[in-house]
Structure 1
């Protein structure tokens, strides 16, 4: 057998490491145990990042992609267990998603923009300004069913030198935007204290976004829900959930409409009605999560670790 190329190899092929020093999943509702059995166990896929964020499954490459924001790398976990560098020396890339063309879309704290990487490795800017002024530091991004890219633009990358470049805001507000690649237009959708994670309900009629301003002395530790109107504008917001302990940094919505959100205690799971269903504890503060193919596995970023847990009812 030929030796593996090592130029971008960070972990060789092999099985994951079980995590023994963590409590098992905790059900608060019987429905939770049908999806996350009590016997399900967390395991570690990688443990050498500095601050992991922005996980997403990239079907074109059949890998789990996530950002080591402070390590300035985008990493890729392969199903055989190896981990490779996807992009090196990044401009503090944080959130990632996949668009309808199969390209990887990035939020860049350093360059204060959205960018893309094609499956062939071509890298380019997507959008850099709103109303002629630079964004703050785009943080998280999601692709809507119509192909529009919705993204949050808090100020973290302007204030944390380990995660961006110190600067004053050109805009004076922290907002959620909708960028339409077909027309090149960008719309300012809503302002929040520090908008962060975002996602759509399965039918696309509800938009969720978190305010994590508690991290900077505010009171935001909240996921808000907005109706999406026929013209893609947002209706009146309502509080969907307040996360304790910590903040809902990043989250995903599954096909049931459940929200799986990061918190200081691990991944908290809420029903579509906002009822707390259960918790997947993590040894460290959890920053984000995403599903693998078929929602059979949940991937979790948590400081230097990439964790995973296998799910039932997939």
Structure 2
């Protein structure tokens, strides 16, 4: 089916492009090719917005997280390291070994919660630096390799558990789930029919939970009930299935409820009703996202061997 599209291209540093695309009729499954000098993301980007590389030389970057103290944390999964990047450009080791850390988040007390591939668990770093296991098993069987997570204001942790960090013979569960870890430590399996569940994020009002599937290239959305359970599952958006140029992976939302997902070619931006608003093209395939800086209007992007950022006009959650 043909889509009616309009786009704008703006030159960015590092010899790449910022491709902004709008789909008027429905979500496109591949990055559009029609190029016109029209910017339909004027509420999000300014015409002179540039994507900037701020660090490089890593193996596979993931799990970016802006710390309120003014620095960025991010994982390098194969390097078994969490790094700390500071605005003056200094990058240093924050934790090594990291358990082949992937996704990172903060709880309401500012403590670091990490999805660890290698240790097959969610961990919590206490204020004194002590690292404790939050959960590593479901019904007596080891989790696959917790990938990404999002924390609700009541302390609940929602996370995905694909098999990316283990070999097939190491699997004990037989499925790849989406879970809720309650504040009292109760682990509940919410969904078990994803092919490769990956990115996960709550809407600004926490009434909806978005989860994407890297292999299928889709985002599903669920209503979050008052007790934290899910209902009313439906497809939110369709992206291009994963390729060497990227896949549905990390996700974030802004204060207006727009959904940002990594995908083939860059960062795909959807309106709250699932309409494709645009794609920020990145030089390397992106893996995950984080809002940062004091006003949370800078989008930090982990992409293979490097870290990028782009300044936006809208505030992130």
Instruction: Pick from 16, 27, 44 the counterpart of residue 35 of structure 1.
Output: 44
Offset, 1:31: 5.3
User: 1:20 matched to which residue of 2?
Assistant: 14
Could you tell me whether the CA contact under 8 Å between 2:80 and 2:99 is conserved in 1? yes
User: 1:233 matched to which residue of 2?
Assistant: 229
Listed one character per residue, the Cα deviations across residues 95-153 of structure 1 (whole Å, up to 9, x for unaligned) are 11111111111111111101122344222221111111110110001101211111101
Listed one character per residue, the Cα deviations across residues 18-40 of structure 1 (whole Å, up to 9, x for unaligned) are 83211124142755222112310
1:289 aligns with 2:260: no
Offset, 1:248: 1.2
Listed one character per residue, the Cα deviations across residues 240-287 of structure 1 (whole Å, up to 9, x for unaligned) are 111126331111011110011101201111100111111111111111
Q: Distance in 2 between matches of 1:249 and 1:72?
A: 19
TM-score by length of 2: 0.85
3-state SS of the aligned residue for 2:41? helix
User: 1:11 matched to which residue of 2?
Assistant: none
1:272 aligns with 2:272: yes
Q: Distance in 2 between matches of 1:124 and 1:274?
A: 38
User: 1:102 matched to which residue of 2?
Assistant: 110
User: 2:94 matched to which residue of 1?
Assistant: 86
User: 1:54 matched to which residue of 2?
Assistant: 63
The 1:25–1:121 alpha-carbon spacing in structure 2 relative to 1, beyond 3 Å, is: farther
Q: Distance in 2 between matches of 1:20 and 1:287?
A: 19
Q: Distance in 2 between matches of 1:305 and 1:75?
A: 12
User: 2:153 matched to which residue of 1?
Assistant: 145
Mean Cα displacement is larger for which, 26-35 or 230-239?
26-35
Offset, 1:313: 4.1
The gaps in structure 1 that reach 5 residues or longer are: 1-17, 160-165, 215-219
Q: Distance in 1 between matches of 2:40 and 2:264?
A: 23
| Number of corresponding residues | 283
User: 2:137 matched to which residue of 1?
Assistant: 129
Runs of 4+ in structure 1 deviating by more than 6 angstroms, as ranges, are none
Offset, 1:167: 4.1
The 1:313–1:197 alpha-carbon spacing in structure 2 relative to 1, beyond 3 Å, is: closer
3-state SS of the aligned residue for 1:35? coil
TM-score by length of 1: 0.86
Offset, 1:47: 0.4
Matches within 5 A, 1:105-184: 105-159=113-167, 167-181=169-183, 183-184=184-185
Could you tell me whether the CA contact under 8 Å between 2:302 and 2:308 is conserved in 1? yes
Could you tell me whether the CA contact under 8 Å between 1:254 and 1:295 is conserved in 2? no
User: 1:7 matched to which residue of 2?
Assistant: none
RMSD: 1.6
Could you tell me whether the CA contact under 8 Å between 2:74 and 2:84 is conserved in 1? yes
Offset, 1:221: 0.8
Listed one character per residue, the Cα deviations across residues 48-92 of structure 1 (whole Å, up to 9, x for unaligned) are 110001111122x42111100011110111122211111012221
Could you tell me whether the CA contact under 8 Å between 1:27 and 1:33 is conserved in 2? no
Could you tell me whether the CA contact under 8 Å between 1:289 and 1:298 is conserved in 2? yes
Q: Distance in 2 between matches of 1:167 and 1:253?
A: 36
The gaps in structure 2 that reach 5 residues or longer are: 1-11, 24-38
